[in-house]
Chains A and B, each alone.
Chain A
Amino acid sequence: MFEFLNQDTTIQTIITVGSMTLFFVGFFGLLTQKHFIKIFISIAIMESSIFLFFIGTMFKKSLTAPILGDGYTTFTNMNDPIPHAMILTAIVIGMAVLALGLSFSIEYYKLTGNAEIDKMNELRH
């Protein structure tokens, strides 16, 4: 089914366009949304779009996952492991920053009753 989509260049284009559209959605949310939770969701969407773009671009469908087993005995014809390692690190860091940001906004909301980014006006006076 849909064999014409299986060429390497077509897959590449789909991944690039798709992940950049996702990036656009996150960026759009970042520019237009006000609530802290929405902002953090937008940032998380932007991050995961970059992760998808990276893993997708480095992926070649003729190669396997970089793990031995199921009959694979040598480290040949495997996908590049460095992107996987980088994204592993980046996902955990992103989650840590997200949790920290949400805890800041929880405390801020409890103290000021404000959860919107354009109403932050404790400073500047």
Chain B
Amino acid sequence: MIGFIILSIFIAIVIIAFSAVTQKKLADSIILFMGVGLGSIVLFFVFQAPDVALTEAVIGAGISSVIFLMALKHLGVQR
């Protein structure tokens, strides 16, 4: 079961990351990037690293997306 979970989450975050990078709209790619962070949280939990998962949850998916969104607001929604 654990192998299947790891495999499926990896497939999911690779697809999400690829669309985050190639997405035309910046807002979409930021939201998708948060999805990558979310996937990594689950993976860190599966890998028996609760401390890292908690850090990734508050920093990777929490604060850094706020920072990205504020930057997006100032950089202008273009393209």
Partners in one complex: yes
- Residues from chain A with a CB closer than 8 A to the CB of B1 are 1-2, 6
Chain A, interface size category, equals 35 or more
Q: Is the CB of B75 within 8 A of A48?
A: no
Contact with B along A44-64 (1 / 0, CB 8 A): 110010011001100101011
- Residues from chain A with a CB closer than 8 A to the CB of B30 are 37, 41
Task: List residues 2-61 of chain B with CB under 8 A from any CB of chain A.
Answer: 2-4, 6-7, 10-11, 13-14, 17-18, 20-22, 26, 29-30, 33, 36-37, 40, 43-44, 47-52, 55-56, 59-60
The CA of A108 and the CA of B20, in the complex, are separated in Å by 24
With A1-B1, A26-B17, A44-B64 as contacts: A14 and B6 at CB distance below 8 Å? yes
Q: Is the CB of B40 within 8 A of A98?
A: no
Closest chain B residue to A5, Cβ basis: B3
Dominant secondary structure at the B interface: helix
Closest chain B residue to A27, Cβ basis: B21
The CA of A5 and the CA of B47, in the complex, are separated in Å by 15
Contact sample, A vs B, 27 pairs, CB 8 Å cutoff: A10-B3, A18-B7, A29-B21, A29-B22, A35-B79, A38-B21, A41-B20, A41-B33, A42-B21, A48-B40, A48-B56, A55-B43, A55-B44, A56-B6, A56-B47, A59-B47, A84-B49, A84-B51, A91-B56, A95-B59, A98-B64, A99-B67, A102-B68, A109-B76, A110-B74, A115-B76, A115-B78
Residues of B within 8 A of A (CB): 1-4, 6-7, 10-11, 13-14, 17-18, 20-22, 26, 29-30, 33, 36-37, 40, 43-44, 47-52, 55-56, 59-60, 63-64, 67-68, 70-72, 74-76, 78-79
Seed contacts A84-B51, A91-B60, A95-B67; 5 additional CB < 8 Å A-B pairs: A11-B3, A18-B14, A22-B10, A22-B14, A92-B55
